[in-house]
Structure 1
Amino acid sequence: MDDPTVSVVVVSRDRGPSLELTLVGLARQLHDNYEIVVVADAAGLDAVRRQKLGREIKTVPFADPNISLARNLGTAVAAGEVVAFIDDDAVPEPTWLRHLTAPFSEPDVAAAGGFVIGRNGISFQWKAHSVDHTGQARPLDVDPARATALTPPPGRAVKTEGTNMAFRRSVLAQLGGFDPAYRFYLDDTDLNMRLARARHVTAVVPMAQVHHSFAPSSRRHASRAPRDLFEIGASLSVFLRRHCPEDAREKAVTDFVAGRDRALISHMVAGRLEPRDLRRLRARLAAGIEAGRSRTLYPLPGLPHSSEPFLPFRTRATGQSITLAGRPLSRRRLRAQAAARAAGGATVSLFILSPTALFHRVRMTRDGVWEQTGGIWGRARRDEPLVRATSFRRRLAQEIARIAALRQHKTPSN
C-alpha cells in the first residue's frame, strides 16, 4: 500500500536556529508523500528562508504565544490525509514519518504517537503512557519494536507527546482540533481525552522516533528549569474543568502542586534555581491555577477542509544509507566526507570513537549527518555497564546494529 499523504506541522516561536535543524531533519525523510507546514513568528520565517525552502513548504505567519491556535492554523492549510506534529526543538530520524503513518493503513486508527529521545541522543525521554482525568500519565507496556493499536478503558486515554504525534485529519477536524484555552500545556492531552471519549483507536509506534533537545524559551531555561509556571497552572485548571469530576478537582490540584514543588526543590538543589526563584514560581503557579478556574471555555466547532492544495515536498533523501567511522584524530576528514555524502542525499551515520570510557552522545549536524561520539569502552544506552572490554570493530558493529532499523543501515556481522 502506498504511503498516506501527510502534512507535517511545525510551530515555532523565538527559536529560529533550532527550527533550522528541525527542517534539516524533515527535508531528509524516507517518505514519498509529505508536505511541510511551518507556523512561525518572524524568526522562524527567517529560518525557512535561510534553509532556502520558502517555495517548497507552506508557511503561516503567527507570533501569539498559543500553540493550540498555531496548530489549528497549520491544520487549516494542511491537505494531507494525516497531520503529524513535531516541535521546533526536535529532529526526526529519517524513518520517522514512514513508521508514524504506517498504522493509518488500518481505517479504525485515528491517532499515533512515537517515542522521544532525550538530549544525549540515545536515552528515551518518553515512551508509551496512558493518562487519566487529572492529566497524570502512567507508563504502558507495549511491544518495543512494533506498533500497538489501543482503545483505552473509560476515564483514560492513550497519551501522545506533542513533539511526536499524528492524527487522521478528518477525525482531528471533526473534534475541532486543539482547544485554544490551553496556551501550550496539556493541549495534546486534552485532545487525547476527547479521542478516547469518542472511542477512537490510538497507535503507539516505538520505531517512530524523534530527538528532543528542550531548547530554551520564555517558559524554561536550557537546563529545563522553569522561568514561569502561570500557564501551566491555568491549563491544569482548564483541563480539570473539561475532564475531571468536580468533587475530585481539589485533590488533583493539591497533588499536582506537591509534584511541582518537589521538582522545583530538585532544580534548586542542583543549582538551577535560587530560593527566591522558588517563591516567585510558586506564586505564579497559584495565580495561574486561580486564573484557569475562570478562563472562558468555548465550544470547539469542526475544522473546515484545507484552504490550500497539497504541496508535495521533494525529499533530499535518496534511500542510500552509509556508515563512516574512525578515531578522533580523523574527525575533520571524516566530517567533511560525511557532509559530502549527506549533501548527495545519503542517510549518513558517522561514528567517532576514542580509546576511552566516555559516554556516547548522538546529534544531527546542520549538514544532515547523524554523528555519534564517545569511548570504545563507554556507555551508549545508560543501562549498560559503565565500562566494557571490547574492540573498535566490535563496538562499531554493536552501535550500527542499535540504530540500523531507524536509518536503514545494514547490520554488520561480528
Structure 2
Amino acid sequence: MNHTPLATTIVIPTYSEVRWEYLNRVLASARSQTHTPAEIVVVVDHNPAMFERIKRELPGITVLQNAYAQGVSGNRNTGAFHARTPLIAFLDDDIIADQNWLARQIEPFTDPAVVGTGGAIRPAWEGRAPRWMPAEFLWAVGGSYKGMPTRTSPIRNVWSANMIVRKDAFERAGGFRVGFGKLGSRNRPEDTDLCLRMSQVSGGRWMYVPAAVIQHEVPAERASFRFFVRRCYAEGRGKVQMAGLHENDALGAEKNYLWSLPRAMFRHLAAGLSGRGSDHFLRAGGVVAGVAAAGVGGVVETVSSRRPGRRTPVEATP
C-alpha cells in the first residue's frame, strides 16, 4: 500500500469500560481532523469483553488486543507495529484533540531530520483548578507546563498522550520499553525514554508544536493535593530509574527545570506580597511541596537501586 510521506495512523490505547465515554470522545475528535488519518487503531489492554464491545459498537476503526505484557507500553507498541504509514500518532483515551491538531503537528516532518513531534496538552479539569497548583507543575496532571516553548521549537522529549513519530525510527529503537511504563502505582517515564532512544538511533531531533492542541481530562480525584504529592514522588523515582538505563546524562533537562523552580517560588511570593491574590502564596507552597516530593522519590530510588539483587527493567523489543 502506497502512502504519502505525511500519511498518519492514530493509535489509541485503552483498558477499561469505565473510560467508555472518554474513548468515544477521543474517537470523535480523531475522526473530525482537517488532515484525515489513514487509519485509527484502538488497542485494548487484556480486556476481552471491552475488545468485543468495541468491535460490535464502534465501526470504522481497527481494534486490536495488546500483544505484549499488560501495560500501556505494550498497548502502544501493538498498534504502532501494526501501522503501515510513515507516521504514527499516539493519543490517550482520555483526551480531545483540536480539529487542526494533526495537520499542525505533522508540519515539522517536512524536515527529514525531525524524528518526532509533540503538541500542547491543556488540562480539562472536571471541577475548578486547584488554587494551589503552580503552572510550572501542570505536568503532574498530564498538561504542558509553564516554561515550555511558546512557538515550534526543538525539545528533548514530548509526552505519549500527544506524540507523533516516524515509523522507521520508532522500529529501529524497538518501540516503547515494555515493562517500563505506567502500571498500577508505578509511573515510569516510558515516553521520555523512547524519545532519547529514537534520537540516539536516528540522530534526529524532536520538535514541540504548541499550536497542535489537545485537552486532557483531569478527574476530580487527580486535583487533590495528595495526588499531586504522590505523583511528584513517583516522578522522582521514575526519572532515576530511567537515567539508569542510559549511558549519557539523561537528566539534563530535569536539572535545568529544577534550577527554574526557585525563581517560580519567589515570583509567586512576590505576587502575593504585592497584593495580586493570596493564591500565589499557595502556589509558592505547591512549588516547594512538588520539589520536595520529587526529591524524596529520587533519593529513595537511588538508595533502592544500590541494594544487592535489585533488577533493572529490561527493554523488550518485538
- TM-score over 0.5 for the alignment? yes
Equivalent position of 2:116 in the other structure: 111
1:9 and 2:23 correspond = no
Equivalent position of 1:19 in the other structure: 23
Looking at structure 1, the residues matched to 52 and 59 of structure 2 have their Cα atoms a distance apart, in angstroms, of 9
Determine which of 167, 175, 195 is the counterpart of 2:198: 195
Give 5+ residue unaligned stretches, structure 2. 130-134, 140-144, 183-187, 266-281, 287-292
Equivalent position of 1:290 in the other structure: 304
Q: Within 5 Å, which residues of 2 pair with 1:134-149? A: 139-142=147-150, 144=151, 147-148=152-153
TM-score, normalisation: structure 2: 0.64
Contact conserved, 1:39 with 1:62, CA < 8 A, in 2? no
Looking at structure 1, the residues matched to 209 and 104 of structure 2 have their Cα atoms a distance apart, in angstroms, of 7
Contact conserved, 1:18 with 1:215, CA < 8 A, in 2? no
Change (3 A) 1:71 1:289: farther
> Which has the larger share of helix?
2
Equivalent position of 2:240 in the other structure: 237
Can you list the C-alpha shifts for 1:10-63, whole angstroms capped at 9, x where unaligned? Answer: 11123233222211211211223421111224375366357x324532322479
> Which residue identity is paired with 2:147?
P
Q: Within 5 Å, which residues of 2 pair with 1:68-107? A: 68-107=73-112
Change (3 A) 1:288 1:232: farther
Determine which of 33, 36, 41 is the counterpart of 1:37: 41
Change (3 A) 1:215 1:291: farther
* RMSD value, Cα: 4.4
What is the Cα deviation at residue 107 of structure 1? 1.8
Equivalent position of 1:170 in the other structure: 168
TM-score, normalisation: structure 1: 0.50
Number of aligned residues? 257
| Structure ranking higher on relative contact order (CA contacts 8 Å, 6+ apart) | 2
Contact conserved, 2:10 with 2:39, CA < 8 A, in 1? yes
Secondary structure of the structure 2 residue equivalent to 1:159: coil
1:59 and 2:64 correspond = yes
Change (3 A) 1:228 1:159: closer
Change (3 A) 1:244 1:72: same
Contact conserved, 2:117 with 2:165, CA < 8 A, in 1? yes
Looking at structure 2, the residues matched to 229 and 65 of structure 1 have their Cα atoms a distance apart, in angstroms, of 24
What is the Cα deviation at residue 245 of structure 1? 6.4
Change (3 A) 1:24 1:291: farther
Secondary structure of the structure 2 residue equivalent to 1:243: coil
Can you list the C-alpha shifts for 1:255-284, whole angstroms capped at 9, x where unaligned? Answer: 8xxx9xx9xxx89x99xxxxxxx9xxx89x
Can you list the C-alpha shifts for 1:364-399, whole angstroms capped at 9, x where unaligned? Answer: xxxxxxxxxxxxxxxxxxxxxxxxxxxxxxxxxxxx
Determine which of 51, 54, 57 is the counterpart of 1:48: 54
What is the Cα deviation at residue 180 of structure 1? 2.0
